[in-house]
A and B are shown apart, each in its own frame.
Chain A
Amino acid sequence: MTAGTAILLTGILCAVACALPGTFLILRRMAMMTDAISHAILPGLVFGYWMAGSANIIVGAVGATAAAIVTVTLVEALQRTRRVEGAEAMGIVFPAMFALGTILISRYFAQVHLDTDAILYGNIEFSAFDRLIVSGRDLGPQSLWVMSVLLVLNIGVLTLLYKELKISTFDPALSQSLGFSPTLVHYLLMLLLSITTVGAFTAVGAILVVALVIVPAATAYLLTERLLHMMIGSAIIGALGAIGGYWLAIIIDGSIAGGIVTMLGILFTLALLFSPSQGLVAQRSRNARNRDRFAVDLLVMHLATHERTEDEYSESSLGHIGAALRWSPDEALTTIRRATDRGMVVRANGNVVLTDQGRHYVDRLIKVRRLAVEQ
């Protein structure tokens, strides 16, 4: 396996492992908890090293996971006092922990070179070279093993708890009445998130784990309404981001982790613009279509209201319609043309007259929208 392949595989596995819990996080509106946890990793790492007296990565990982759990616990404790909102609680806890970690580093680890760059955006570029050596046998890149374990863990837990997660996400009260505690599910999810974040952090650094958890899931959310599709979609999008980002970083000679996030950002933007249901482009054309239909509805209602009254003639004249309905002459003509195309009106001697089809449409409009028409 070449170095490049190892890096690429690590990136893909990491992205997929993170995207899966991300789906539930954004559905539960807890996306920023990922941010809080990943910032708390630094002090956890440092604390682990401090307790162990050495810069052993296992100790660091345990310390980091403990710090993540402490963060979640503190945030929830603060929320329970009912004096602090969820987001505020996060914004108080994780900076305090990060500040503690930075101070610990300055005081006790000033000599030890703690690579702040690596903490921020990881060193996936070197993942091929850190080998896992067990009993003298080289089992391959360490990061591949870590990511594989993470991926299996996530797939396993999320499959096992799929039904519980689904119900407690969309209807916590129902899940409670069905007999399983949404709180327990929540804590399990947070535990899974903590472990995943710490593991992924070793590859892509603190900040970018947040991107891997949130962005593919958000992109998938824009594209589908079904939970399972969203999970699978986010995994695929995460993988695509990893592959594309890798190549982007190689081309411009920048950080691979940065490249992956940039690529995920591009994919998200594409979904935001072009999603058939949620996309901004689709919304614009849908709004325009609705505007046009509403204008036609206004026109035929106006004509129907004034039919068989004294001012029928004046109200239905071409010139007057625009003024009555506050349309510009161009808008009025366009709407009349659309109504004519749909067979609802005809033009006769400078007036606009309802057809039978048009009257029928008006009747249905009144019934469906329960409009009362003054006679």
Chain B
Amino acid sequence: MSTLHDLIFDYTLRNVALGGMLLGIVAGVLGAFAVLRRQALLGDTLSHAALPGICIAFMLTNSRAPLVLLIGAGIAGWIGTLIFLRTIKATKLSEDTMLGVVLSVFFGVGILLLTFIQQQNNANQAGLDKYLFGQAASLIGRDVRTFAVLGLGALIILFLCYKEFKLLSFDPEFAASLGLPVRNLDIMLTSLLVVAVMIGLQTVGVVLMAAMIIGPGTAARQWTDNLRTMLWLSGLFGGLAGVTGAVISVQASRLPTGPMIILALTAIVAVSLLFAPRHGIVAELVRTRNKRNEFQALLEKGPQS
């Protein structure tokens, strides 16, 4: 199949597909934890909060190198998360309110900085706004290698601290009573999410990042009740969406990669919600109908003498 051939030998397709796949896997696995901890939209907030970080990184270094800008993005996202966590613990403001505050204020500051930079007529600043919509088609080998290192590092840490993260997600009080450093674990898990967002920013952009975090985990949840299985499935679904979206967008014309990945992911979520064996909607409808028929038959048979 020529697509399979291109997947290996065509430079652009290979990089875009690899980039999409890596993003899908990392965002999927880490997003599953975010969903479990009811921090689903934290990915959305992190990606919006990254904008001022990108601008400041550019203003300080005058470099457009993705790694530099992404580090700025990561730091800003991290600061935003710290503010979020601290404020919801200390005040009566709820999580969704603080997510919205951090998201919009950071992004607004980012827009102010971005327009300020654009006014300076600095030739280097063109293309800073590609992080808003993502530009997966412009991924080069070096970018993909950076993602691979970051993503692999994040997954290794996750693997090493799996038990602690699992406990932290389901029963933080118990974890604390066991003497686990709950706050540090919290910060570490959130930092891993920041890494996932950093990878995703260049591929799908600020707005669509939320789906990359939430989608795979939501889809995986429908197929299993086991956490380990759920994580594997999240990675699988995310990677699958990444590759599918990338391949379709490169083959067709005028179909931007980021949105295609999201549409592929949404399809996976829809199929999972509908057709998963036990939790699926179709399965539930069938079960309900069978029970109804069974009950009807019992009624007709009348009381057992």
Contact = CB atoms under 8 A, between A and B. Distances in A.
A95 interface: yes
B255 A106 contact: yes
Contacts of B119: 253-254
A304 to B, nearest CB: 32
Q: Which of B105, B106, B107, B273 has the most CB of A within 10 A?
A: B105
B73 to A, nearest CB: 16
Contact of B108 (A88, A95, A258): A258
A261 B115 CA distance: 14
B94 interface: yes
A88 B92 CA distance: 23
B210 A91 contact: yes
Interface in A100-156: 100, 102-103, 106-107, 110, 116-117, 120-121
Interface string A276-307: 00101001000000000000000000000000
Given A107-B255, A121-B111, A102 B105 contact: no
A117 B115 CA distance: 10
A88 B218 contact: yes
Contacts of A248: 112
A264 B104 CA distance: 10
Contacts of A272: 87, 91
A70 interface: no
Interface stretch (B17-25, B185-193, B258-266): B258-266
A286 to B, nearest CB: 11
Nearest to A95: B211
Contacts of A57: none
Contacts of A278: 91-92
B213 A102 contact: no
B38 interface: yes
A221 to B, nearest CB: 7
Label chain A's interface by main secondary structure: helix
Contacts of A103: 255-256, 259-260, 263
Interface residues of B, number: 61
Contacts of A121: 111, 115
A71 interface: no
Contacts, number: 200
A184 B69 CA distance: 47
Interface stretch (B3-11, B39-47, B165-173, B224-232): B39-47
A8 to B, nearest CB: 17
Contacts of B99: 31-32
A211 interface: yes
Given A83-B273, A91-B211, A31 B108 contact: no
A2 B129 CA distance: 32
A265 B106 CA distance: 8
A222 interface: yes
Contacts of B132: 116, 120
B254 interface: yes
B97 A214 contact: yes
A92 B215 contact: yes
Contact of A257 (B105, B111, B279): B111
B40 A29 contact: no
Given A218-B93, A218-B98, 19 more contacts: A31-B99, A34-B100, A35-B44, A35-B104, A91-B213, A92-B218, A99-B262, A102-B133, A106-B256, A116-B133, A121-B111, A210-B103, A211-B107, A214-B97, A214-B104, A252-B116, A254-B116, A259-B112, A261-B111
Interface of B: 35, 38, 40-41, 43-44, 48, 87, 90-101, 103-116, 119, 129, 132-133, 207-208, 210-211, 213-215, 218, 221-222, 254-256, 258-260, 262-263, 266, 269, 273, 279, 281
Interface of A: 26, 29-32, 34-35, 39, 78, 81, 83-85, 87-88, 90-92, 94-96, 98-100, 102-103, 106-107, 110, 116-117, 120-121, 207-208, 210-211, 214-215, 218, 221-222, 248-249, 252-255, 257-262, 264-265, 268, 272, 278, 280, 283
